[in-house]
Amino acid sequence: MSTSKVLTETSVIPAHKDAVTALEVFDYNNTEVLCSSSRDGRVLARNLRNNNAIIREFSKHSFYVNSMVIAKNANRIITAESDKIGRIFDFNSQKSLVLKGHASDVLCSSVNFLENKIVTGSTDKNIYIWNTQGNLEGVILHSVENGHSGWITCVDFKPSEENEIITGSFDGTIKIWDIEKKKLINTFFEGKLVNDKTVLVNDGTFSVKALNISADGTFCAYGGNNGLVYIIDLNDNEMIASFDTNNTITSLAFGLTESIIACGTQDKIFLWDVPTNELLDTVDLSVYGKNCECMSLTWSGNTLFAGLKNGKIVSFEFFRKK
């Protein structure tokens, strides 16, 4: 596959003292804000229109912040932490509610489009369902029939679906759930729809470390330890493409303006065109110092933000050559 340079670095922010675990951009008071979470125990909000100045710091966490999502209409930040809890922060007052229930590290979180339900996943292998007032509304235990047999490493609500989520796990599978009925809908392994009883590998070889759903809800991409990105059409449950990065996949983000996907690994960022299966660009992260694993990715228009393990946030402008 040919590679053409379509990503241009626009800024490098020395953002955190440890790995940047999640990134999101949203509009607040008519300005563009970049939020980042980190293993340094902080969530920072920066004004992208004012030299990336920090406008909020959320630092009540006692340990790693593993995940962060934003309820953008309600101006709330939801975090997942390594001290067994999650938190809901009010962006304005900076007051927080604690989500307490998991037995071990909370690795991931997501909020639905109505912003009335939150889900969290943990190393306890369970899925917890909360309302945005911080009350526990339900649990999907790993002991349920065909539940995950490994840590739940990532979770995302399907866009425009109030009650459907997709989870990824150390057991190598992704699963689609109805959280209202607390029932499994589908399981995928190596990009294919499977009967759960056929999935026997649980040694981490296929561990899922990243998952992302396209903005229109059509595609789900996931990847992890085996270095392969799988892209599934959620309308017909078929794998439409797979890409080999030859390294552990740590982050994924579908483009917002074009059918492209960015993929972060332990040493590079790849950019693929989904319809043509063409590799558009590769960014070597070693130029940003040591410990440059790409831990998180997010798009804002044609701008790609990458959060690195060494605490830096790098932004790139995407421009497709004619």
Query: In the predicted model, is pLDDT for residue 145 greater than 90?
Result: no
For residue 195, being part of any structural domain is answered with yes
* Alpha carbons 263 and 250: distance in angstroms, whole number: 8
CA angle 32, 34, 36 (to 5 degrees): 165
* Alpha carbons 207 and 171: distance in angstroms, whole number: 6
Looking at the chain, the number of H-run helices and the number of E-run strands are: 0, 29
State the pLDDT confidence band at 4, using cuts at 50, 70 and 90. low
Find, among 277, 276, 269, 266, the residue nearest to 252 by Cα. Answer: 269
Q: What CATH number is attached to the domain comprising 69?
A: 2.130.10.10
For residue 260, being part of any structural domain is answered with no
For residue 287, being part of any structural domain is answered with no
Number of domains comprising the chain: 1
* Alpha carbons 170 and 178: distance in angstroms, whole number: 21
Contact in structure between 219 and 213 (CB atoms under 8 Å): yes
Q: What percent of the chain has pLDDT over 70?
A: 98
State the pLDDT confidence band at 59, using cuts at 50, 70 and 90. confident
Phi first, then psi: give them for residue 55, nearest 5 degrees.
-110, -15
Check residue 183 and give its pLDDT. 94
State the pLDDT confidence band at 41, using cuts at 50, 70 and 90. very high
Give the residue carrying structure tokens 């991931």.
Answer: 108
CA distances from 26 to 30, 33, 53, 66, 299 (A): 10, 5, 15, 20, 10
pLDDT digits (tens, 9 = 90+) for 239-260: 999 999 999 999 999 999 999 9
193, HSE (Cβ side, Cα atoms, 13 Å): 13
For residue 57, being part of any structural domain is answered with yes
Check residue 201 and give its pLDDT. 66
Check residue 2 and give its pLDDT. 40
State the pLDDT confidence band at 1, using cuts at 50, 70 and 90. very low
CA distances from 131 to 34, 87, 117, 121, 314 (A): 25, 12, 5, 15, 34
For residue 301, being part of any structural domain is answered with no
State the pLDDT confidence band at 302, using cuts at 50, 70 and 90. very high
For residue 123, being part of any structural domain is answered with yes
State the pLDDT confidence band at 290, using cuts at 50, 70 and 90. confident
Query: In the predicted model, is pLDDT for residue 204 greater than 90?
Result: no
Token pair recorded at residue 17: 């003292």
For residue 98, being part of any structural domain is answered with yes
Mean pLDDT, range 3-21, rounded to an integer: 91
The residue segments making up the domain with residue 24 are 18-246
Mean pLDDT, range 12-17, rounded to an integer: 97
For residue 309, being part of any structural domain is answered with no
